[in-house]
């Protein structure tokens, strides 16, 4: 196992870059329920409401009473590791590159017994463990047995270096990060948060440098931070930075956005809406065309491979918030394009993480009552989301509430939002 104290050696740039391979990605439709929960950072299993059975692996019917009426429910994952083995040989190309690989059988307290990857912090069987669901390089759910609160214990950073977690999460430690807009409070909070999380370098983009940003000048004093010119509305600018840095960026955080608080009637014309689309939608497209291919090429580039592409969307992408209607529309367009990017990046194991916050506590939400999310809280949530390996992040209570209402019934939510609730 990779018990790596401190920083691992840098990759020798003269060596061939390993081609990204994926673990087996085929899943039945019903098994994708496990993936859907893992995408949100949850471990869920099918539960039969009729006989109470919790079952694994996922099936179309309850294996005890044959009921078809199964529901997915969050599980604690507590259980016992009853046996373990270390894999030294595999016919699968992905695992052949990553031998040896530790696996074990875990009997969950809720009933089923399952095969799981074993985190390096797990003691020799038999012992108590907890199962967590993560997305593997293929974007499918994988189950990892961990020991207690491994993520907050002493040596948590080294624990995060465990090969399973390094493969199945997007930890910024020892990685190079590009924050596309360093001029906003959020961009500066993100930059600080990534430095604090152990990123090697954080590049902070700066458009229209003639409009000064005191906050950015302050962040630039941090040793790990470099300000770079980047205007996502300018294809030349994106291309130049992609050429200069593309092969170095391991995590790209696209937080560049324009937000004007208008619906249709409150702002005549298309100029403001067009600038929202130009940054929020076309900006993503420009970045994806210049940075996407080279990040895909580095999806398996050793310990500090290219690992994640984060899009700052909005919970309004799910359903229009009419008083911010043009912004909602631009975020819905960006969400759709981000799904396309996710499909294209998947083949290289680079994760596209979509972030759907509720309203931020910034100047464009001045007229909205609290709760509003602070830049610091959102930045922290994004870093944690990467460390936890989630794919869709709904940070904060407003976003969680909207998500729950949207999942329950999108039509009801639309009616509620139409009258401003």
Partner 1 sequence: MTSDTLDSLVADLTSGAIRIVDLTQTLSPETAPIVLPPEAGQCWPFRLEQISRYDERGPAWYWNNFSCGEHTGTHFDAPIHWVSGRDLPNNTTDTVPPQHLIGPACVIDCSGRVATNPDFLLTVDYVMDWEREHGRILPRSWLLMRSDWSKRSDPCAYQNIDEEGPHTPGPDVEVIRFLIEERDIIGFGSEAIGTDAGQGAHLRPPYPCHYYMHGSGRYGLQCLTNLELLPPRGSVIICPPLKIRNGSGSPLRVLALVPRLT
Nearer to partner 1, 96 or 212 (CB): 212
Closest CA to 346 of 388, 305, 385, 292: 292
CB 184 within 8 A of CB 151: no
- Give the footprint of partner 1 on this chain (CB under 8 A): 209-212, 231, 233-237, 260, 269, 271-272, 275
Query: Smallest gap, in angstroms, from Cβ of residue 418 to partner 1?
Result: 25
Closest CA to 383 of 149, 207, 192, 227: 192
Mapping DSSP to helix (H, G, I), strand (E, B) and coil, where does residue 281 land? helix
Measured CA to CA, the distance from residue 407 to residue 384 in angstroms comes to: 24
Query: Smallest gap, in angstroms, from Cβ of residue 257 to partner 1?
Result: 13
Measured CA to CA, the distance from residue 367 to residue 369 in angstroms comes to: 6
Nearer to partner 1, 289 or 336 (CB): 289
Query: Smallest gap, in angstroms, from Cβ of residue 115 to partner 1?
Result: 48
Name the token pair of 99. 């031998």
Neighbouring-strand partners of residue 79: 108, 129
Nearer to partner 1, 233 or 374 (CB): 233
Measured CA to CA, the distance from residue 63 to residue 101 in angstroms comes to: 31
Query: Smallest gap, in angstroms, from Cβ of residue 169 to partner 1?
Result: 37
Question: How far lies 318's CA from each of 313, 334, 367, 404, in Å?
Answer: 10, 11, 22, 11
Nearer to partner 1, 68 or 214 (CB): 214
Nearer to partner 1, 1 or 272 (CB): 272
Please return the burial class of 3, using the count of CB atoms within 10 Å of its CB with bins 0-12, 13-18 and 19+.
Answer: exposed
Query: Smallest gap, in angstroms, from Cβ of residue 288 to partner 1?
Result: 16
CB 261 within 8 A of CB 367: yes
- List of residues 6+ apart from 53 with CB closer than 8 A: 47, 62, 63, 64, 65, 111
Nearer to partner 1, 286 or 342 (CB): 286
Nearer to partner 1, 46 or 184 (CB): 184
Nearer to partner 1, 42 or 260 (CB): 260
Query: Smallest gap, in angstroms, from Cβ of residue 244 to partner 1?
Result: 16
Measured CA to CA, the distance from residue 214 to residue 187 in angstroms comes to: 13
Nearer to partner 1, 111 or 235 (CB): 235
Neighbouring-strand partners of residue 177: 202, 251
375-388 vs 185-196: helix crossing angle, rounded to 10: 40
Measured CA to CA, the distance from residue 264 to residue 233 in angstroms comes to: 23
Query: Smallest gap, in angstroms, from Cβ of residue 243 to partner 1?
Result: 15
Measured CA to CA, the distance from residue 397 to residue 373 in angstroms comes to: 9
Query: Smallest gap, in angstroms, from Cβ of residue 284 to partner 1?
Result: 16
Query: Smallest gap, in angstroms, from Cβ of residue 229 to partner 1?
Result: 9
Nearer to partner 1, 151 or 278 (CB): 278
Query: Smallest gap, in angstroms, from Cβ of residue 72 to partner 1?
Result: 44
CB 177 within 8 A of CB 194: yes
């Amino acid at each position: 196992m990779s018990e790596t104290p401190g920083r691992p050696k840098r990759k020798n740039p003269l060596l061939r870059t390993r081609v990204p391979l994926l673990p087996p990605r085929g899943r039945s439709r019903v098994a994708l329920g496990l993936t859907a929960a893992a995408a949100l950072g949850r471990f869920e299993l099918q539960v039969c409401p009729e006989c109470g059975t919790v079952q694994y692996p996922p099936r179309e019917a309850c294996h005890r009473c044959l009921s078809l009426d199964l529901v997915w429910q969050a599980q604690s994952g507590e259980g016992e590791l009853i046996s373990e083995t270390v894999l030294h040989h595999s016919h699968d190309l992905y695992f052949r590159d990553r031998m040896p690989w530790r696996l074990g059988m875990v009997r969950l307290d809720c009933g089923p017994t399952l095969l799981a990857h074993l985190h390096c912090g797990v003691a020799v069987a038999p012992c108590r463990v907890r199962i967590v669901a993560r997305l593997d390089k293929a974007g499918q759910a994988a189950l990892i047995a961990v020991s207690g609160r491994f993520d907050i214990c002493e040596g948590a950073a080294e624990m995060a270096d465990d090969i399973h977690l390094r493969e199945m999460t997007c930890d910024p430690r020892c990685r190079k990060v590009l924050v596309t807009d360093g001029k906003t409070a959020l961009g500066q909070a993100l930059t600080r948060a990534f430095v604090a999380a152990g990123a090697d370098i954080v590049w902070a983009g700066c458009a229209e440098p003639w409009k000064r940003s005191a906050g950015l000048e302050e962040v630039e004093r941090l040793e790990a931070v470099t300000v770079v010119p980047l205007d996502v509305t300018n294809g030349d600018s994106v291309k130049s930075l992609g050429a200069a840095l593309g092969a170095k960026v391991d995590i790209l955080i696209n937080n560049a956005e324009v937000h004007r608080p208008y619906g249709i009637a409150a702002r005549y014309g298309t100029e403001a809406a067009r600038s929202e689309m130009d940054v929020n939608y076309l900006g993503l497209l420009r970045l994806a065309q210049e940075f996407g291919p080279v990040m895909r090429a580095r999806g398996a580039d050793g310990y500090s491979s290219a690992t994640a592409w984060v899009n700052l969307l909005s919970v309004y992408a799910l359903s229009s918030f009419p008083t911010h209607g043009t912004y909602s529309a631009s975020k819905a367009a960006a969400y759709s394009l981000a799904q396309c990017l996710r499909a294209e990046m998947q083949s290289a194991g680079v994760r596209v993480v979509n972030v759907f916050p509720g309203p931020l506590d910034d100047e464009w939400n001045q007229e909205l009552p609290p709760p509003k999310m602070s830049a610091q809280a959102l930045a922290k949530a994004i870093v944690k989301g990467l460390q936890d390996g989630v794919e869709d992040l709904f940070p904060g209570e407003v976003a969680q509430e909207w998500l729950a209402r949207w999942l329950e019934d999108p039509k009801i939510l639309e009616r509620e939002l139409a009258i401003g609730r």
